[in-house]
Structure 1
Amino acid sequence: MTPAINFAEKAKIKYTIHEYSHDATAESYGLEAAEKLGLEPHRVFKTLVVTLDGKSLAVAVLPVGLQLNMKLIAKAAGAKKAAMADKDDVMRSSGYVLGGVSPLGQKKRLPTYLHNSAKALETIFVSAGRRGLEIELAPGDLVSLTRGQFAELCVTTSTAEQSDAQL
């Protein structure tokens, strides 16, 4: 059991644990999880920790195939600037190792922002607190448990641009 699983258990929410054999040479932990679990990448969310205005930390949870937009996370958090947090600060505040950071059960509760695309999904997958372990839960439960909020966190291209890029 990880702190994330214990947190979900204590909250008495509906969740499912999914485990896979993590490959230490994988370039992207999130895309590896999607591939090994046979999931569409838009259902698997990564947990990123950012520094706001150089002072405080916040959590962004977004699909593994998308890139966090620093201006959008800063705006959502009411800050002027955002930057990726130092890895030591991430591990210290969350209690998790990189690649296994869960938005649930962190040592220090941080403001959390879940990408708007999660609203359209019945369940999403996030790290359960270690590499090779995912927890599937309803997006509303994740927002409720983290006292988070939905936000636009990424600049996405139009469907036509995505189709052209795939040709």
Structure 2
Amino acid sequence: MAATPALAALADAGVPHEVVKFSHDPRERAFGDEAVRQLTSTGAVSPAQIYKTLVIAIPDGLAVAILPVPARLSLKAAASALGVGKATLADQRTAERATGYVLGAVSPFGQRTQLPTVIDSDALACERVYCSAGRRGWDVAVAPADLIRLTGAVAAAIQA
């Protein structure tokens, strides 16, 4: 049995992936920044390859925006890419309830309900991107095309 719903979803879909674990400090609240520091320490991974998964509120529910950790999300661009008028960041409790993951471990894979998803188009230039594997201190490397296929994401420029 897979360790997280995200890893189970990847295995069930037959998607090639690599789980990368790092030492998570339980006092850390800047989860993406921690992943960048840990994963780039050897120089094998670029900060531009490490992606965060943000849950956003849209007029008819919730959606997911995936973009590089160092980048800021343009809520206007995300809303436009999803075909809605506006978007705001979802509050923590709503995001956790909808996805089944705790803040800092929200994965685009294996969510309780697959939410409409937009990924920053910069991902298309990467051979692999790293995103949460569903547990703090665990990331998973996947090809952007597989991330898009599994989540039904649209790719768009969503950085502010």
Distance 1:92 1:81 in 2: 22
Paired residues for 1:1-167 under 5 Å: 1-38=3-40, 39-53=45-59, 55-155=60-160
Displacement of 1:25? 2.9
Distance 1:148 1:37 in 2: 25
Summarize deviations over 1:34-91 as a string: whole Å, max 9, x none: 21122321110000000012x3100000000001011101101111110001211111
Distance 1:35 1:86 in 2: 26
CA RMSD of aligned residues (A): 1.0
The structure that has the greater radius of gyration is 1
Percent of aligned positions with the same letter in both sequences? 40
Higher helix share: 1
Summarize deviations over 1:101-125 as a string: whole Å, max 9, x none: 0000000110011100000000000
Summarize deviations over 1:111-155 as a string: whole Å, max 9, x none: 011100000000000000010000000000000001111111113
Distance 1:18 1:90 in 2: 24
Displacement of 1:27? 4.3
Distance 1:49 1:109 in 2: 11
Q: What stretches of structure 1 move > 6 A for 4+ residues in a row?
A: none
| More displaced stretch, 37-46 vs 128-137 | 37-46
Gaps in structure 2 of 5+ consecutive residues: none
What SS class does the counterpart of residue 38 from structure 2 fall into?
helix
Task: Say how many residue pairs are matched.
Answer: 154
What SS class does the counterpart of residue 10 from structure 2 fall into?
helix
Does structure 2 conserve the Cα–Cα contact (< 8 Å) formed by 1:31 and 1:41? Answer: no
Q: When the two structures are superposed, what TM-score results if normalisation uses the length of structure 2? A: 0.93
What SS class does the counterpart of residue 154 from structure 1 fall into?
coil
Which one-letter code corresponds to 2:52 in the other structure? K
